[in-house]
Amino acid sequence: MKQLQSLKSDLTKTRIIESQDFNLDEGEIAVVIESFAFTANNVTYGVAGDTIGYWQFFKTTEDENNLWGCIPVWGFGKVIESNSVEINIGERLFGYFPPANMLSLKPIKITDQSFSDGKDHRRDLPAVYNNYIRLSGDADYESEMDNIRSLLFPLHITSFCICDALEEKDYYGAEQILIVSASSKTAIGLAQGLEEASSSPSIIGLTSQKNLDFVKNLGCYDEVITYDEISSVNFQNKSVIVDMAGSREILGTLHGSLRDNMLKCLTVGMTHWDNDVTAEDALGQAMLRERTEFFFAPAHIQKRVKDWGYDGYNQKTNEFMKTRSLQSSHWMKIKEVNGIENFISIYNQFVKGDINPNEGIIVVI
């Protein structure tokens, strides 16, 4: 078995560890990982690995001191061995995997459409991450959409949840929604979803100078402003901020300038993960922390499954996802990388924040 491991204390450091293949216990299956997507969202998994529990999903090998972790990824796998009477060898799955070539799972709550991993160390983790789709039971499955599904499904589910949460709150009475890191795939899905909603406020995208043309050409933002021209934001408008970046400098500037006009700030991602985050500097002190909260999509998903039922939730999200997938063909180019070894240089670019926004990275094992 081969794993790509990241040093928990410094995501820029990685290693590939090869170890003996595992032996299956009763009820377990062995899955060979075929491919997975990697986006800035995966860097967020690493940054929040300890606080939210992302490091707990996949145990590392050759790691006695628990210093290394496997950053979770979304992708496809095939069952190559099965000690479960309900799961067949040759079945293909979509779900949450480590950046590795193999994984053992213990299917529970098995239906024709899906199952959950019942390993003890995953028992208390968010259910949405423990769920695996059985593609043989997915009536809407189209193999030519595999790459899009890996890249956009986890991101645009978050986009859907934010759109829904904002609409439920009537946008907190805001006149504008400021989306920080407007070139990110989650931000694009959010802006496109808000654009569809007739009642949404103005959608303002904040981005870097190098991504300005790309974000403008998306056509889903009413206005696009670069970070070095942030003073041109209309600070007199009542505003909601959706932050995909985690930049202390940007958030401090926006909060300090908007003051009481900053109604709510939802933090989603941490693209600028290496900021020296502290509340003791002027920008940190400017943040209105009582109006700021981390938006955790799995919690919203659980709420809506309870509100709408599983079928109702699936219908709404599937409609959203299909529309976003069609729109992605106009702006996203898929780049395939063969092998974990060849992926490391691209991984390093993501960790440094050196990302081409119109690319979607797929690693083929």
The pLDDT assigned to 354 comes to: 87
How far apart, in whole angstroms, are the C-alpha atoms of residue 304 and residue 278? 35
- Given a cut of 90, whether residue 103 has pLDDT beyond it is yes
- Mean residue pLDDT of the chain comes to 92
Looking at the DSSP bridge assignments, the partners of residue 304 are: none
How far apart, in whole angstroms, are the C-alpha atoms of residue 250 and residue 129? 31
Could you give phi then psi for residue 293, rounded to 5 degrees?
Answer: -145, 150
Residue 176 within a domain: yes
Same domain, residue pair 170 and 78 = no
Which tokens in the block code for residue 244? Answer: 């995909």
Which tokens in the block code for residue 136? Answer: 């043989």
334 against 284, higher pLDDT: 334
Query: How much of the chain exceeds pLDDT 70, in percent?
Result: 94
The pLDDT assigned to 185 comes to: 95
The pLDDT assigned to 310 comes to: 87
Which tokens in the block code for residue 72? Answer: 């979770």
Residue 59 within a domain: yes
Final residue of a structural domain among 281, 297, 313: 297
Residues with Cβ within 8 Å of 334's Cβ and at least 6 positions away in sequence, in order, are 147, 148, 151, 359, 360, 362
- Given a cut of 80, whether residue 270 has pLDDT beyond it is no
Same domain, residue pair 135 and 193 = no
pLDDT digits (tens, 9 = 90+) for 166-217: 999 999 999 999 999 999 999 999 999 999 998 999 999 999 999 999 999 9
198: domain CATH number? 3.40.50.720
Same domain, residue pair 17 and 69 = yes
120, amino acid identity: D
Final residue of a structural domain among 297, 316, 343: 297
Q: Count structural domains, the chain.
A: 2
Domain residues for the domain of 107 are 2-141+332-364
pLDDT digits (tens, 9 = 90+) for 116-174: 999 999 999 998 999 999 999 988 889 999 999 999 999 999 999 999 999 999 999 99
Given 3-state DSSP classes, what are the helix, strand and coil percentages for the chain, each rounded to the nearest 5?
A: 40, 25, 30
The pLDDT assigned to 287 comes to: 59
Per-residue pLDDT, averaged over 21-44, amounts to 94
Same domain, residue pair 285 and 263 = yes
How far apart, in whole angstroms, are the C-alpha atoms of residue 242 and residue 182? 10
Residue 322 within a domain: no
Which tokens in the block code for residue 316? Answer: 């709404």
Residue 316 within a domain: no
Same domain, residue pair 78 and 168 = no
The pLDDT assigned to 125 comes to: 92
Same domain, residue pair 260 and 353 = no
Q: Contact 166/240 with Cβ under 8 angstroms? A: yes
Same domain, residue pair 94 and 64 = yes
The pLDDT assigned to 64 comes to: 94
Q: Which of 202, 186, 197, 195 shows the shortest CA–CA distance to 239?
A: 202
Residue 77 within a domain: yes
Which one-letter DSSP state was computed for residue 229?
A: G
Map residue 30 onto helix, strand or coil.
strand
The pLDDT assigned to 286 comes to: 52
> In the structure, what pLDDT confidence band is assigned to residue 78 with cuts at 50, 70 and 90?
very high
Question: Structure pTM?
Answer: 0.89
Q: Contact 253/178 with Cβ under 8 angstroms? A: no
Looking at the DSSP bridge assignments, the partners of residue 338 are: 364
Q: Contact 183/204 with Cβ under 8 angstroms? A: no
How far apart, in whole angstroms, are the C-alpha atoms of residue 199 and residue 42? 32
The pLDDT assigned to 269 comes to: 64
Residues for the chain: how many in total?
A: 365
Residue 314 within a domain: no
Same domain, residue pair 98 and 232 = no
Final residue of a structural domain among 297, 323, 344: 297
Q: Which of 318, 336, 286, 277 shows the shortest CA–CA distance to 75?
A: 336
